[in-house]
Amino acid sequence: MSERLQKYLAKAGIGSRRSCETLIHQGKVIVNGEVAKIGSSVTDTDVVEFDNKVIRVKEDILKVLMLNKPEGVLSSSAREKNIPIVYDYLPNSFNQRNWISIGRLDINTSGLMLFTNDGGFANHCMHPSNTLDREYLVRARGEFTLEKKKQMLSGIMIEDQIHKFTDVVEGEKNGTNQWFSVCLVSGKNREVRKIFQSLDLEVSRLKRTRFGPIFLPSTLQKGKVKELEESDIDALKNYGKKS
């Protein structure tokens, strides 16, 4: 049975389907001795090579890791200068390169990040159609009004895209600072910060506390990793179907 090359590469742990498509487009994938093209399909009898190595899909047990990402850490596998990256915190017992991040956090945002050894599962979790919502704890400075809350929920046009929260809960207020708990479904780059900034609210702290049905445990210290139980993985698989 044949399958799309990018799906085959993702199942082999090379990266997400989108990143694998980029590798194919860049001419970095070889199939049966020839540079692969976008749209190619392969079977188990084809010889697929990447980075001068033959790629085989292994029937590995699906694993998912949870990281409590600290601030000041890049959500990237590429190192810039001496800035730490999230992969520095993953266990050496499994080839770090084969861990695929399920979504990213910007360098100044802390909290819950998930990683998996299965590209298909990563694609499921990140695909917009599965509506896995994210929850964030926000501390912001500025005047917050009912009108601003309505705008956050109805949607704000930023850089030719609509950005909005599905829920906004006001928390403790200290002077000019106030805490909020916000939820959103999409995973646009820096979306939480952009929404607050568009309403003249300055975000001073941002932490992701939930991804779909998975909550960040209060006992998981910054920089520490925990492997998810099978029941948690099943909950992630089924969460989008129920939403």
Catalytic-labelled residue, pool 88, 106, 200, 234: 106
Per-residue confidence band for 129, with pLDDT thresholds at 50, 70 and 90: confident
Find the mean pLDDT for residues 68-89: 90
Calculate the average pLDDT of the chain. Answer: 89
For residues 114 and 101, the answer to whether their CB atoms sit within 8 Å is yes
Q: What is the pLDDT of residues 194-222, one digit of tens each?
A: 999 999 999 999 999 999 999 999 999 99
Q: What is the DSSP letter of 213?
A: T
Find the mean pLDDT for residues 170-187: 92
Residue 242, pLDDT > 50, answer no
pLDDT of residue 241: 57
Sole residue written with tokens 């079977």: 43
Backbone angles phi, psi at 70, to 5 degrees: -80, 165
Percent of the chain at pLDDT > 90 equals 62
Which tokens hold the place of 148?
Answer: 């601003």
Q: Which CATH superfamily is domain 3-54 in?
A: RNA-binding S4 domain (3.10.290.10)
pLDDT of residue 141: 96
For residues 126 and 102, the answer to whether their CB atoms sit within 8 Å is yes
Choose between 60 and 10: higher pLDDT. 10
pLDDT of residue 113: 97
Cα 24 to Cα 36: distance, rounded to the nearest angstrom = 6
Q: What is the pLDDT of residues 137-173, one digit of tens each?
A: 999 999 999 999 999 999 999 989 999 999 999 999 9
Find the mean pLDDT for residues 214-242: 90
Distances, alpha carbon 200 to alpha carbons 89, 90, 144, in Å: 35, 37, 9
Domain map (residue ranges) of the chain: 3-54, 64-129+214-242, 133-211
Kind and range of the H or E run holding 17: helix 17-25
Catalytic: 106? yes
Label residue 18 left, alpha or beta by phi (over 0 means left) and psi (-120 to 50 means alpha): alpha
CB atoms within 10 A of CB 63: 16
pLDDT of residue 15: 84
User: Selecting from 2.40.30.10, 3.30.70.580, 3.30.70.20, 3.40.50.300, what CATH number does the domain 64-129+214-242 have?
Assistant: 3.30.70.580
Find the mean pLDDT for residues 79-106: 81
Percent of the chain at pLDDT > 70 equals 94
Distances, alpha carbon 102 to alpha carbons 19, 70, 120, 195, 236, in Å: 12, 17, 11, 22, 12
Choose between 123 and 203: higher pLDDT. 203
Topology annotation, domain 133-211: Pseudouridine synthase (3.30.2350)
Backbone angles phi, psi at 182, to 5 degrees: -125, 150
Query: If you compute the radius of gyration of the chain from its CA atoms, what whole number of angstroms results?
Result: 20
